Structure 1
Amino acid sequence: MSAQRPVKLFSVLAIRAAFDRLLPLWQQRCPQVELQVEWAPTTRIEQWIADGRRADAVIVTTEAMDRLVEQAVVEAGSRRELVDSTIGVATLPDAAQPDLSSAAALKQSLLQARSVGYSLGGASGIWFKTVLERLDITQAVNARASTIDEGFTARLLLEGKADLAVQQISELLTVPGIKIAGPLPDELQKVLSFPGALFRNAGRPAEAAALLAFLRSDAAREVFQACGLTPRA
């Protein structure tokens, strides 16, 4: 192991399941490069950065990355498009499956649920609030909702706190013992994209750039797809 400090990455939770599977392959290719990853929703990562915290690289939503480029926090030329992610709904495996075929069907499924679980701080949860507003059921759903500040909403299913969990499909799949009911209807879907980039004055820019390149490799693309993500061209 190198005596140098680890390469530090701030990353969204959406790619965590895939990243955990990719880490052994990365270690085989670059055994001398130790990684230190801090996982959080984009909103939390942006707050870290606003507070002055830095790493070598960062993976956040496209909108957040655009802001970081504009603020010259990251090197614009280092930006690499990684994956797209869709939002979906999960249940316990033996539960009745909700109808997600249309906006109207989703509305009825949400209203019929004992409790809907979602994340207040994650990008999917922020969008789900918009979905509830569009369906005009914010008050009705939130009166019985089970929310978390951040983390994986499918855990609420296993804890008996919700019978529907809404989050990015890649995040739902992080929790074993649940079933993906399907994506949100097209008319209410939001595809979230996640690029990575290097911070300005990164301590280990070459190694961080190699990590982002690895996350665009054919091997990484296969794992991302298996984990419910769509690799970017």
Structure 2
Amino acid sequence: MIFRPVVAIAALSLILIGATSSNSRAAEVVVLSTVAAKSVLEEIAPAFERDSNHKLVLRFATAAELKAEIEKGAPCDVALLTVAAVDDLIKQGRFTQISKINVAKSGVGIAVKRGAAAPSITTGEELKQALLSAKSIVYSAQGATAPIMKRIFERFGITEVMSAKTIVVTAITAPEAVASGQAEMGFTQISEILDTPSTRLVGPLPPEVQVYSSFAAAIATEAKAPGAAQAFIDLLVTAATKAVLKARGLEPN
């Protein structure tokens, strides 16, 4: 059962009541976010919209995909992407440095179809054996997990063996591919696994091979509603939102 922080959501309402007086004019805030934060933003969005009078337009994809779209001119007010992507967009003058906040970090998790048996994977050796025993595995082509898994294959000396049974998806997430039976085991951000009801989280990658992705948010230099965008940014670093982040598999800053 996924814990839903009811107290945290109630606290969000109290926080946002204060924002309403300073942002009385309703605005539309376009947020482009990594799919790793999808469940978090969808959970806090209703309270934000209700109590601030602003409307959120949320769009989710991998950080790499969204960064490329922003560089091509895709309009947005706020972006929540990997720290590296946000920093690069700031250097390009597309986002403001002063508005940048570090939001959370997330590790890679292991997913199997709900109801399927899963081996213990707490050490690097157990992970290696699980990879060799799996009939197929999957990860996303555009996400941060792909290069992490490739380095793990190289470290274990199983690159050639794994290439024959690795499925790389683009149109769906790795957990969705596992849920539909396309692969036996999936690798992606823990938050994405927890957000896919038909799969279950076996656990994180073992500590010796785990790599964390850090996420940050910032306001676009050409934001149409900078005040409303700032209200949303402020919400992301409250204690209430941090409780939601933690419940959804992310480690808040």
Cα deviation for residue 51 of structure 1 reads 1.2
Pairing 1:50-61 to 2, within 5 Å after superposition: 50-61=71-82
Cα deviation for residue 97 of structure 1 reads 1.5
Percent identical pairs in the alignment equals 29
> 2: distance between equivalents of 1:105 and 1:184?
10
Query: What residue number does 1:145 align with?
Result: 166
Cα deviation for residue 150 of structure 1 reads 5.1
Native 8 Å contact 1:41 1:150 kept in 2: no
Pairing 1:37-48 to 2, within 5 Å after superposition: 37-48=58-69
Aligned partner of 1:94 among 115, 121, 125: 115
Q: CA RMSD in A?
A: 1.7
Query: What residue number does 2:21 align with?
Result: none
Query: What residue number does 1:106 align with?
Result: 127
Q: Deviations over 1:171-219 (max 9, x none)?
A: 1111102211110011111111111001112111111111011111122
Query: What residue number does 1:26 align with?
Result: 48
TM-score by length of structure 2 reads 0.85
Query: What residue number does 1:15 align with?
Result: 37
Q: How many residues are paired up?
A: 230
Q: Deviations over 1:71-118 (max 9, x none)?
A: 222100000111111111011233222332222221110110011011
> 2: distance between equivalents of 1:135 and 1:65?
32
SS of equivalent to 1:188 = coil
Query: What residue number does 2:97 align with?
Result: 76
Query: What residue number does 1:231 align with?
Result: 252
Q: Which runs of 5+ in 1 are unaligned?
A: none
The list of structure 1 runs, each at least 4 consecutive aligned residues, that deviate by more than 6 angstroms after superposition, is none
Query: What residue number does 1:209 align with?
Result: 230
Cα deviation for residue 156 of structure 1 reads 1.6
Native 8 Å contact 1:152 1:175 kept in 2: no
Moved more, 67-76 or 77-86: 67-76
SS of equivalent to 1:212 = helix
Native 8 Å contact 1:40 1:150 kept in 2: no
> 1: distance between equivalents of 2:88 and 2:69?
14
Native 8 Å contact 2:111 2:201 kept in 1: yes
Query: What residue number does 2:17 align with?
Result: none
Relative to structure 1, is the Cα distance of residues 174 and 115 closer, same or farther in structure 2, using a 3 angstrom cutoff?
A: same
Pairing 1:63-212 to 2, within 5 Å after superposition: 63-149=84-170, 151-212=172-233
Query: What residue number does 1:218 align with?
Result: 239
Q: What letter corresponds to residue 190 of structure 1 in structure 2?
A: V
> 2: distance between equivalents of 1:128 and 1:4?
44
Cα deviation for residue 33 of structure 1 reads 0.6
TM-score by length of structure 1 reads 0.92
Q: What letter corresponds to residue 10 of structure 1 in structure 2?
A: L
